[in-house]
Amino acid sequence: MYVLLKKLGYNSTLISIIRKTKNIKFLKKYLHLTEINNFTDIKKSDYDIIIVDSDEVWAYNFRYLLQIGFLSFAKNWNINKIVYAASIGFSHWTNSSKIINSAKSLINQFSAVSVREKQSIDIIYKYLGIKPQLVLDPTFLIEKEDYLELVKNFKLKFDNNKNYLCSYILDKSKIKNDYVRKVSKILNYSVIDIKVEKEDFIEEFLYSINICKSVITDSYHGTVFSLIFNKPFITFINKIRGGIRFLSLGEMFQIKNRFINPKKFEISDLSNFTDYPNINITNFNNLRKNSLNFLKRNLLITK
């Protein structure tokens, strides 16, 4: 989103709650970052527009659901506020009547509201009384080359004579580990095991997906970047982190065959590690165009 807004002519700031994170070095290097201790640290006079964007900012269990997801700290600010590609993550929105009533009141302050999963449109309408627009995750709105620019000077020691299977598993289990091991053994691929805990995780994540032959993941964005980098992949549906995110993505691009529940390895799955994803490119291009138009229209960009 930061890169896209820059391309559209905006000076953007990422507002971040101060907490220990391995990604802070990356964020400070590539983004204009403002760290806050409390939401009262954010000043109305500093901004013309606030965008609430993406991932699970509307998940029922998100700690800052009202403060970040619905900008409760800015409820009386007369500035442009936009929700882009909010995700509720799950097939239900289990909240107290107090939180739901607060969200229903706060939603009226936004000039435009969009969500990332088709399945969440009816859920939001049920609880908040509005029908949000369906848009793409913001990671799809810039080019593969924009991501490669971030890792142009980043290097890891890989053998150019080997083929690699990139394993990005957030919630490890024996059945997932056995699956990765069997795929790598049959295809004779060496395994790159990406770990979130590393300080240079983001660079390693992008670099590894770019140089690998195939990807296996249980991550939504592991799946997204497999698509962006056009890599054969399989995704374990991760219900712990929100199952409808995977279902929606599978339906959106007609690649549901690549999404499986964690299970024992089957030889029939191998084709997904050698065949490139055959997404519905027309549908993707239309969604991308509509998503960009949603932002441009609500950012008052006429070109």
Q: In the chain, what are the helix, strand and coil shares in percent, each to the nearest 5?
A: 45, 15, 40
Question: How buried is 133 (Cβ within 10 angstroms: 0-12 exposed, 13-18 middle, 19+ buried)?
Answer: middle
Give the pLDDT confidence of 249-301 residue by residue, as tens digits. 988 898 999 999 888 888 988 999 999 999 888 889 999 999 999 999 999 76
Give the pLDDT confidence of 174-207 residue by residue, as tens digits. 999 999 999 999 999 999 999 888 888 999 999 9
* 179 or 303, greater pLDDT: 179
Question: How buried is 234 (Cβ within 10 angstroms: 0-12 exposed, 13-18 middle, 19+ buried)?
Answer: buried
Task: Assess whether the region 2-142+285-298 and the region 144-280 belong to the same CATH fold.
Answer: yes
Cα 10 from chain centroid? 22
Q: Going by C-beta distance under 8 Å and a sequence separation of 6 or more, which residues neighbour residue 263?
A: 175, 179
Residue 87: per-residue pLDDT: 94
Helices 243-253 and 220-228 pack at an angle, to 10 degrees, of: 20
Which residue from 162, 226, 225, 212 is spatially nearest to 188, judged by alpha carbons?
A: 162
Residue 241: per-residue pLDDT: 81
Measure the CA–CA gap between 220 and 249, rounded to whole angstroms.
Answer: 9
Task: Report the residue count for the chain.
Answer: 303
Distances (CA, A) of 228 to 83, 156, 196: 23, 21, 20
pTM above 0.85, yes or no: yes
Statement: 2-142+285-298 belongs to CATH 1.10.20: no
Measure the CA–CA gap between 205 and 64, rounded to whole angstroms.
Answer: 27
The upper half-sphere exposure of residue 3, i.e. CA atoms within 13 Å in the direction of its Cβ, equals 15
Measure the CA–CA gap between 187 and 134, rounded to whole angstroms.
Answer: 38
Measure the CA–CA gap between 60 and 94, rounded to whole angstroms.
Answer: 6
User: How do the domains of the chain map onto residue ranges?
Assistant: 2-142+285-298, 144-280
Give ∠ CA 119-122-123 in degrees, rounded to 5: 85
Measure the CA–CA gap between 235 and 224, rounded to whole angstroms.
Answer: 10
Distances (CA, A) of 220 to 24, 205, 224, 244, 273: 21, 13, 6, 10, 18
Residue 168: per-residue pLDDT: 97
For 144-280, CATH number out of 1.20.1270, 3.40.50, 1.10.260, 1.10.3470 equals 3.40.50
pLDDT bucket at 303, cuts 50 / 70 / 90: low
Residues 298 and 82 sit within 8 Å (Cβ to Cβ): yes
Residue 18: per-residue pLDDT: 78
**Mean of pLDDT values over 46-70:** 94
Give the pLDDT confidence of 125-177 residue by residue, as tens digits. 999 999 999 999 999 999 999 999 999 999 888 888 899 999 999 999 999 99
Measure the CA–CA gap between 207 and 201, rounded to whole angstroms.
Answer: 10
pLDDT at 302 over 80: no
Give the pLDDT confidence of 64-120 residue by residue, as tens digits. 999 999 999 999 999 999 999 999 988 888 889 999 999 999 999 999 999 999 999
